[in-house]
Structure 1
Amino acid sequence: MMKDKKQTPKKQAEDSAQIAYQGIRHMLYTKELVPGQRILYRDLAEKLKLSPTPVIQALKWLELQGFVEHEPHRGYSMAPFSLKEIEELYEIRELIEPSLVPAAIEKIDKNGLSELKEALEAHLAAERESYLKERLFKNREFHMTLAYLSGKTTQVRILQNVFDMLFLKYGGNYFPISSLSSTDQAHQEIYDAVALRSLERAQSVLKNHLTNVKIQVMTSIKKILEEQERSEF
């Protein structure tokens, strides 16, 4: 009988760091950690039921991704809220997503079109009372499904990181509820154009959709910040 192989110390450390990483990402999702918040890694380790070492490793990974900042002798903190960063993230989406459409349309087959249809229907079926997290992530899945169909793995990975920053760091609570119907319509029109292999139409609708979303989001955030400033006086 073969004996079970024991994990090496290196493998155990990697697994613990990955557990810490996923645990901290979940805390970002649930807003237990928010932009600008100081991080006491020992408290974090206790909450995650891990030793400090894998938690520090996870924080270093998150620092490379832009979620966390580290200052010598002061420790870790969540990266601060940045209006400029949000705008730049949407500008990256405006550059990458339309550029992937030609390859997606060229490569798409019956199965790929079915996947895109499922992503569209999942978003349309999500809770409509407000722009809740379920609907927000279904929105991301539609856009990411279209991107994955292009086969451009490096650009898709960059786009995934952009969505992580937008939805995990900033939460998406700034997305105006009034834009739900226009988002539904845009997604439907994008799908229809891709199904017809109409490249010009698909790119045009997607570009306009992303630009409109950026404008709506930036307007909504500025309004929220203005209201917060007034309430402080």
Structure 2
Amino acid sequence: MVVRKGLTTEEVYQKIKEMIYCNQLAPGQKLIYNDLAKRLGVSMTPVVQALNRMENSSLVKYMPNKGYFVGEITESEVEQLFHAREALEIYIVPSVIANLNATSLDEIQQAFSTHREAYDSRHNRGLILLDAKFHLKIAAFARNQVIYKMLKDIYEQLYLKYPQQYISDDRAKQVVAEHRIILKALRKKDVAEAVEAIREHVKGGMSHVIRGLKPYTPFDL
């Protein structure tokens, strides 16, 4: 094994997250220190340090005498994450709208267009990440770094732990439509309309994710 000198724990942390996002590491999979070290070309020390950090972020789970496993999202966790997301995104709407100008609206429009184009090309693997980037672009204009970081952590847990193959085409299409409604409300600088649009969007997202976690039967609607 060729060890890459100077590769930091932060870099290893980001690379392991990327491996999870790209499905190179599956939800529930046991993480082997030696295997990760060889794949990344590093010693085991930064791998262990990165996994410790990921455990603190609930991205991996540590089981005594068994080791680390890639995190699997539960229905209860989905509800908690989406409820927290809804509360935070709705709370910052007045601040976001107060700070909007032509330039910031163009940036949000660009984030919307990038997500829509990914849907049009059926690039499903990137849809969750681009969905998060759209919402985080909006959140950035609240000028509240604490809330922004909290939302970023929430989205990270959702797009790293939720199996992307469960994204239905119907829901992906609906997300684009709901994003358009949110953007329209922001352009009008209508706080009440934006709040309602975000609330309905988050509610729909939570319902879809929860349905995706349930075992499929021929009678599922």
What is the TM-score with the length of structure 2 in the denominator?
A: 0.88
In the alignment, which of 173, 177, 197 is matched to residue 185 of structure 1? 177
1:111-158 CA distance string (max 9 Å, x none): 111111111111121133646022222211111111111111111111
| Pairing 1:90-129 to 2, within 5 Å after superposition | 90-128=82-120
Letter in 1 for 2:150: I
Q: Please name the residue that 1:8 is paired with.
A: none
Structure of greater Rg = 1
Q: Please name the residue that 2:53 is paired with.
A: 61
- Whether 1:205 aligns to 2:197 is yes
- Whether 1:196 aligns to 2:197 is no
1:72-95 CA distance string (max 9 Å, x none): 433222234422212221222221
- Whether 1:71 aligns to 2:86 is no
Letter in 2 for 1:96: L
Identity %: 26
| Pairing 1:1-233 to 2, within 5 Å after superposition | 15-128=7-120, 130=122, 132-222=124-214, 225-227=215-217
Unaligned residue ranges in structure 2 (runs of 5+): none
Identify the range of structure 1 (49-58 vs 126-135) with the bigger mean alpha-carbon deviation.
126-135
Letter in 1 for 2:175: T
Superposition RMSD on alpha carbons, in Å? 2.0
Please give the alpha-carbon distance, in whole angstroms, between the structure 2 residues aligned to 1:125 and 1:56.
38
Identify the range of structure 1 (118-127 vs 101-110) with the bigger mean alpha-carbon deviation.
118-127
Unaligned residue ranges in structure 1 (runs of 5+): 1-11, 229-233
Q: Secondary structure at the match of 2:92?
A: helix
**Contact 1:102–1:199 (CA under 8 A) maintained in structure 2:** yes
Letter in 2 for 1:146: I
Q: Which runs of 4+ in 1 moved over 6 A?
A: none
